[in-house]
Structure 1
Amino acid sequence: MNAHAARIGLKRGWTELRQTATTGQDLRGYLLPTVILLFSMFMQRDSKVHGTAFSLGTMMLPGVLGLVVLWGGFLAVAQQLAVEREDGTLLRAKALPNGMPAYLIGKIVVVGGMTLISMLIILVPGLLLFPGLDFATPQSWTTLLWVAVLGMVASMPLGAIAGSFISNPRNLGLIVLPMMAVMIVSGIFFPMAVLPEWLQWIAQVFPMYWLGLGMRSALLPDSMAALEVGGSWHHLETVAVLGVWAVVGLVVAPVVLRRMARRESGSRVAARREKALQRTT
C-alpha cells in the first residue's frame, strides 16, 4: 500500500461517512438499534444488580458500549462487503489501480466514524441518566480509548472474513443469530458470574465478553469488579485475548479478501443482480 492509495481511501471514507450521516435509511440502520439499547437501559435504571444497591441500568451501559463497538466493527463490515459485492462496487474497486487498499481504508473510516457516533449517542446521555458511572479520571478515558480501538482492530477483520463468505446480503442472519447467542452469555446485560461455569468458559473465548469487561473497567467503580469472573477487571487478559483475535484477523482477512476479489467478475455481478431483480418482482 502506498501513500496515494491511503489518500484515496481516506477521501473515499470521509465522503461515504458524510453520505451515511445525512441519509435517513442509513442512519436508521445504524442508530435505531443504539436508541433501542439506550431505552432498554433507561427502563432498568431503578432495578438493582442482584446482591447490591447498584443500578442495573448503569451496570449495563459499559457492556452495551462494548457491544456497539463489536456490532459496528464486525456486522457493519460484513453487511457492507456483502452488499457491495452484489451491486458491483467491489468489482469496480478491484479494476482500479490501488483500488482494493483504498476501498478497505475507506471502509475503516466510515465504519469507525459511525461506530464512534453510536457510542456517543449512548455515552453522552448515559452520563446524565445513570448514576454511579466513574468517568472523571484520565485513567477512565484512557481505558475506554484503548479498549475501543483494540476492539475495532479485532472485530473489523473478522467482519471482512465473514462478509467475504456471504454473497447475498439477505443471508446475514447466518452470522447475526450466532452473534446474538454469544451476546446473551457474555455478561452484556447481567453479570456473567451467575451463569454456569461451562458457559462462562465459552463466552471468554470470544471478543464480546472482553470488550464488555474492558468497558466496565473504564466506567464502573473498582468495587464492581467483585461481580466479575475472578473478581478482577483482568486488563492483561483483555489485551491478550483481543490482541490474539486482532492478529488472527489481520493475517487471515487479506488472504480471504484477495481470493474473493479474484473470483469477482462482471458475469458474477450480473447474475447476482438478476437474482435480486427476480426476488423483487
Structure 2
Amino acid sequence: MESTTNKSEGCEFVLIGFPGLAEKFHVGFGIFIFLVYNVSLCANATVIILIFLKEHLHQPMYIIIGSLAISDLLFDTTTLPKIIGKYWFGSGSLTFVGCFLQMTIVHTLNPLDSLIIMFMAIDRYVAICHPLRYHSIIGNRRVIFICISLYTVAVVTGICVMYLATTVPYAGSNKVKNLFCSIGTVGVTTYVNPAPVLLKAYYVGLACHLGPLSFIIFSYSIIIRKICSSVRSDSWNKAFYTCVTHWFVIGTYNVPRLLVYTYEQTQKPQVDIYVSLICLYTFVPHFTSPIIFCLRNEEIKKTLRSVLERKKHS
C-alpha cells in the first residue's frame, strides 16, 4: 500500500482541455477563456465589494447573493488561469498534490453553488409568501450562520470526493480530458478499474444536486401559486420579475449539470460534448448571474450608479 501511494504521489496530470480543438485555435480559445475569466472576476468582485462596503446592502438577500459571488469567484480563480496557461504557453501539467487540491476545491464549490441557490429560493419563498414575518424568520445573523454552515457542508463533501479519488493508484503522466481536475476525468486515468469509485462519486454528486434542486422546485412551486392567486399590482410585477431572473440563474446552474449526470450513465460520453456541458454549468453562470442580479436589482444598480458618479466627479 505504501509503495502504491508513493507511486501515485510521484505522478503528474496533464490538462488536455478540448481534445478535438485544433492547435491553430489554441491561442484564440485561450483569449476567449481569458475574457470570460475577466468578466467573471469584475462582475463578481463588484457585487462582493458593493455588498461588503455599503451598509444598506447588509440585508439577507444580498448576503446570499454575495456568498454565491464569492463561491463563483473562487472556482474561476482556481481553474481558469491554469487552462489559459495551457492554451497560451502549453503549461497544462499539474503535480499530484496540485491536481487533487484543485479537485477538492472544485467538488467543494460545485455543491456549494447548489446549496446557496437552494437557500436563495427559500429566502424568496419567505419574502413572497410570508412578507410580514420575513425579518423575524430571515435575519442577518441567521443568514450568515446558515451560509457558514453551507460552506462547511460543501468543504466536507469536497474532501470526501477527493478521498474517493485517492483510493485508486496512478502512475506516470495522466492525461485529463477536461479544463480542470475532477474525479470524473481524473479517475478514468487510473490503471485499475475506476468504476466502483466513480459510481460512489456519482451518487454523492447526484445527492448534492437533486437534494437542493428538490427544495428549489418545491419553494418556487409555492411561490408561483402565491403570485398567480394574488391581485396584479406593482409588488406582483416585482415578485414575478424577481422569480424570472432567479429561474434563469437556477436553469444555467442545474439543467446542464443534470444533463451531464444523465449523459454519463446512459452512454459513453463523447469527450468534447462532455467537456462543453461541464463548461456550460460551471463557467457560464459565474459571469451571467452577477450581471443579472445587478441589472435586475434596483438597489444594487442605484448603489453602483452612485459609486461611479462619485468617482467621475472626484
Instruction: Specify the structure having the higher radius of gyration (Cα).
Output: 2
Answer yes or no: same fold by TM over 0.5: no
TM-score by structure 2 length?
A: 0.29
TM-score by structure 1 length?
A: 0.32
